[in-house]
Chains A and B, each alone.
Chain A
Amino acid sequence: MAVDFGGIKMRNPINTAAGTFGQGWQFEPFIDVSELGAITTKGCAAEPWPGNPAPRMCEIPGGMMNSVGLQNPGVPAFAEESGPYLAELTDKGTQVICQVAGHSTEEYVRALELFCELCPWAAGFEINVSCPNIAAGGAACGSTPDGAAEVMRACRKVTDKPLIVKMAPVRVAEIARALEAEGADGLSVINSISGMAIDVHTRRSRLSKPTGGMSGPLCHHIAVRMVWEVANAVKIPVNGVGGVMTGEDAAEFILAGATCVSVGMANFVDPTASVRILRELEEWAASQGVSDINELRGAVIC
């Protein structure tokens, strides 16, 4: 089941979506986190961010919508609080990918420099140029090939470690090509999809902000299509993200061309979901008669 995600050697293809898995230790009462191939920690910036006011979440049919706004304690506090646990997790063989947040190219670079200095145990970093819930940075700079490429170019100068880019669900093939050209090692496809929910009785948004990011099963088939487009557009590996609730959902991403798969909202519904999905994916691979999951990557018949 081992895969190579842009230089991040994973013992199996199951990863977790940033922002849905805390820093990993929150799940230790429920599962042995070290069974997973990798975890991606919640996005962190150089300085602490307070995030958005309440309400930050509403439930929508087939998923949820959030406007957390990347609340985080800043890289130094993150490293101090969760570093020892994450270093131990790395020793046990689960790769830790730290997600990097920023409002500008300079802020992404500063956060990445701090990560490199304070989190030497990290297997790689995921640059989040696709958060739909912050006024500057995030999707505001990652939704065009030029904007995403600028951040990638600057971050590439900071480290030789694997750099993954979390992509917005727009213009994915052309943005993927631009990121590959700037030296990205892998791509996470997709971040949550911007949406809007209105309470018609109060006429207010159901979130503290007018819009939020939609995630969960409602996004899954959009994400599968985008993973397939990206996998066909670039040579660097893809991490499929979006509404994976079962091993078969994960298998769809692999067949569409993903090297690995992140479990997201399912972690909230069932904290044991990631390990269950790994077992189901193993069963599916066996049912396909292959001894190596890599044989099934991009094996969709169409």
Chain B
Amino acid sequence: MNHSRVVQIWVGLFVAIGLASLFMLAMKVSNISALTEQDGYVIKANFENIGGLKIRSPVTMAGVVIGRVSAIGFDRNTYEAVVSMTIDPNYDNIPEDTSASIFTSGLLGEQYIGLEAGGSPDYMKEGDSFQLTQSAVVLEKLIGQFLVSKADE
């Protein structure tokens, strides 16, 4: 093996390691796996207050992530937040009277939408809205209520 061949092998190895690092950053560290599952059907829900909910927050049912929040808008007429969520097409049997609530994971964690299945035989379709929703719990409100109830005692 002559010298220039050794150099070329080393450079090949170097470039391969560099590209492998980039690949690892993309696949293992970043959210590329979440980005690929974009397809699905969209359901909307109106909330009085969404707290810290963000686009791409998870939508869960029984604790399992079945979709993600795809858009957050504001309704001019009802002064409510309109949250669109994209649900994985595998879960196309969500009953029509399912309720959606905004929960917080842990004390200071991220906020997510939790769905609780109803008993209706009809299933949700693309563009449907949840009838039963529960807003995010705002910590300051809770503390305020607690103080008021303490003062009453």
A and B associate in one complex: no
